[in-house]
Structure 1
């Protein structure tokens, strides 16, 4: 993948562990801090949610990978600009 080299691949692999431990589809992005943490019911906010849950190293790795992909891959840059 553009933007993911040996260091980021190793960080993602070791930080993720066994992928089967994430039972729901949204559990992995949430663990990686790649999605907003919101707690809502009936379109109303229900208290504050700790945004520091999850793996900070995976969050760092995915941000770096996206940044590198923007520099290395024209298709990724077009997608981001759109």
Structure 2
């Protein structure tokens, strides 16, 4: 599962939504149990390697357990959990 949490992501999921600029990137929290045995930087590389868009991608890859913990903290993951658009990957 993924959570998009910027205006760029909103407009990708809902045509006409969002207030993105051409220079905006896509911010994405990716949640997968497959990340459990992977170092964080490798997770990022794996997701970015699958990205097939000319848009820049900012990715935060977490296991479901890490995401549950992070969404309770103050930070960008909490914002994504609260305001993000769920994307099936």
Query: Where is the strand percentage greater, Structure 1 or Structure 2?
Result: 2
TM-score over 0.5 (shorter chain): no
Q: What is the TM-score with the length of structure 2 in the denominator? A: 0.26
Q: What is the TM-score with the length of structure 1 in the denominator? A: 0.27
Structure with higher Rg: it is 1
